[in-house]
């Protein structure tokens, strides 16, 4: 499903370049639950953003679902991102002015899904995550754990093949963190969704079936 061949990422620095990722080779098969670990600044977020089609690599080859990513025009890349990928962020990234319902509905609007289908998909997710009673509340009226649950619901509503999560429990208490990790585990095991998360926590990493470690932009 995912294959990186010699991927590097650098930023211009004076007359030279500063490498953030160097010669990354990585394969992730459908149905895996992978945790990316490593110290601050080791390139974890950059790698996740490249994998999730949010950023482009500087060098190397990225093949995502049989598609050579570098060859894609911006528009096709956005389309692929919308159709196949869900993203969950540490700070939730919910839209404050929209209700829980509207936040979850947003990716379906971008995809041009019809009103009746949107209604049924949002209703299914609200029901599955037990947040029907919260649907008309705004993010500021929810606890952190509930906001992240909405973040996961929003990532999931488009039926993505892969969910990328960047420190999804970084802002949560341990109890809420466990709830979110159990949601990921269930999505992976019951629904077969491939999951790739960045985490600082060995405990969170153990919910997955594989850990990869980064150090100074290299795979350890």
Selected from 20, 125, 153, 157, the binder of ligand ADP by CB under 6 A is 20
**Alpha carbon distance 108, 157 (integer Å):** 7
Computed from CA positions of residues 43, 48, 53, 59, in that sequence, does the dihedral angle turn out positive or negative?
positive
Q: Nearest distance from residue 117's CB to ligand ADP, in Å?
A: 28
Q: 190: Cβ–Cβ under 8 A, 6 or more apart, which residues?
A: none
Q: 218: Cβ–Cβ under 8 A, 6 or more apart, which residues?
A: 22, 23, 24
Q: Nearest distance from residue 159's CB to ligand ADP, in Å?
A: 26
Selected from 44, 118, 121, 154, the binder of ligand ADP by CB under 6 A is 44
**Binding region for ligand ADP (CB under 6 A) out of 124-132, 138-146, 152-160, 186-194:** 138-146
- Residues in contact with ligand ADP, counted by CB under 6 A, come to a total of 16
* Residue at token pair 């190397």: 60
**Binding region for ligand ADP (CB under 6 A) out of 36-44, 89-97, 110-118, 152-160:** 36-44
Region 140-179 residues binding ligand ADP, contact defined as CB under 6 A: 141-143, 145-146, 176
Computed from CA positions of residues 140, 146, 148, 154, in that sequence, does the dihedral angle turn out positive or negative?
negative
Residues that bind ligand ADP (CB under 6 A): 11, 20, 38, 40-46, 141-143, 145-146, 176
């Amino acid at each position: 499903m995912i294959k990186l061949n010699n991927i590097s990422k650098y930023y211009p620095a004076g007359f030279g370049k500063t490498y953030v990722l160097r010669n990354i080779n990585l394969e992730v098969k459908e149905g895996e639950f992978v945790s990316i670990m490593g110290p601050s600044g080791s390139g974890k977020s950059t790698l996740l953003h490249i994998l999730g089609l949010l950023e482009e690599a500087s060098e190397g080859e990225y093949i995502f679902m049989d598609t050579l990513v570098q060859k894609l025009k911006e528009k096709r890349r956005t389309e692929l991102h919308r159709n196949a990928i869900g993203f969950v962020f540490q700070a939730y990234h919910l839209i404050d002015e929209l209700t829980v319902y509207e936040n979850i509905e947003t990716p379906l609007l971008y995809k041009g899904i019809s009103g009746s289908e949107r209604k049924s998909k949002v209703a299914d997710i609200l029901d599955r995550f037990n947040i029907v009673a919260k649907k008309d509340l705004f993010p500021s009226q929810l606890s952190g754990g509930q906001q992240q649950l909405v973040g996961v619901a929003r990532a999931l509503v488009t039926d993505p093949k892969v969910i990328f999560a960047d420190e999804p429990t970084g802002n949560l208490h341990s109890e809420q963190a466990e709830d979110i990790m159990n949601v990921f585990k269930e999505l992976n095991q019951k629904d077969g969704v491939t999951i790739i998360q960045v985490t600082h926590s060995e405990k969170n990493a153990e919910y997955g079936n594989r850990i990869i470690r980064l150090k100074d932009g290299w795979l350890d």
